[in-house]
Amino acid sequence: MPVFSIVMPTYNRATTIGRAIESVQAQTFTDWELLIVDDGSVDDTSAVVAGYGDSRIKYIYQENAERSAARNNGIAHASGNYVCFIDSDDYYFDNHLAAFYAFLLAHNFPVALVFGQTCVDLDGVVTQEPFTAQPTEKRTEFFIVNIVGVPRTCIARSILLEEQFDPTVRIGEDMVLWTRIMRKYPYYHIPDYTQAYVEHSGRSVSASEKPFKEH
């Protein structure tokens, strides 16, 4: 049984998934399994994954049901004590799992949600995005005010067998899940920058802000 199960949902990412997979393989902490959940791809994603020949990498195919269902499918197949996530167009730094493991070990492996720092990779230029928690009147509002993306998190699998992503929520499904989790379990923030999400100058982040806030 590995310490970490890493869930990667993917859809038609055969040409870009390699960096994400290789960033997991490059981890300095090596006790992991990678669960790649193919959400109905029609390209050669399965062949690309098979080409890695790594027994720690498991390929799961499902009919297209969107990312929440894909993540839940990965969780159902996970065997690690903790579950991490990575999107197929993003990547980890080699310290990602090591940083989480160091925290978990120091805190006697808590049943909790833990999240770290993130970077943005804009056309190959990587910039740290500092996180300063904004205060909230109610504890359960923390993840509504403070946005924490899925690849930044590490969560005890026992929690995710009880609370999972809601497939009916198309925008902010992570926020909904984190808020449900924190009603019952503690959360912790570690200061390490351990992963990057990829942006492109042709893709406008602001274009998604209006529907996100309305939703």
What string of pLDDT tens digits covers the 215 residues of the chain?
A: 999 999 999 999 999 999 999 999 999 999 999 999 999 999 999 999 999 999 999 999 999 999 999 999 999 999 999 999 999 999 999 999 999 999 999 999 999 999 999 999 999 999 999 999 998 988 889 999 999 999 999 999 999 999 999 999 988 999 999 999 999 999 999 999 999 999 976 544 444 555 555 65
In 3D space, the residue among 131, 136, 143, 139 whose CA is nearest the CA of residue 176 turns out to be 143
Amino acid identity of 183?
R
**pLDDT at res. 200:** 72
Beta bridge partners of 34: 6, 57
- Token couple for 110: 């808590």
Q: Are 106 and 93 in contact (CB under 8 A)?
A: no
Amino acid identity of 83?
V
**Distance (Å, whole) CA 7 – CA 87:** 8
Q: Which long-range contacts (CB under 8 A, 24 or more apart) does 51-58 make?
A: 52/21, 52/25, 54/25, 56/2, 56/32, 57/21, 57/33, 58/33, 58/34
With a CB cutoff of 8 Å and minimum separation 6, the contacts of 206 are none
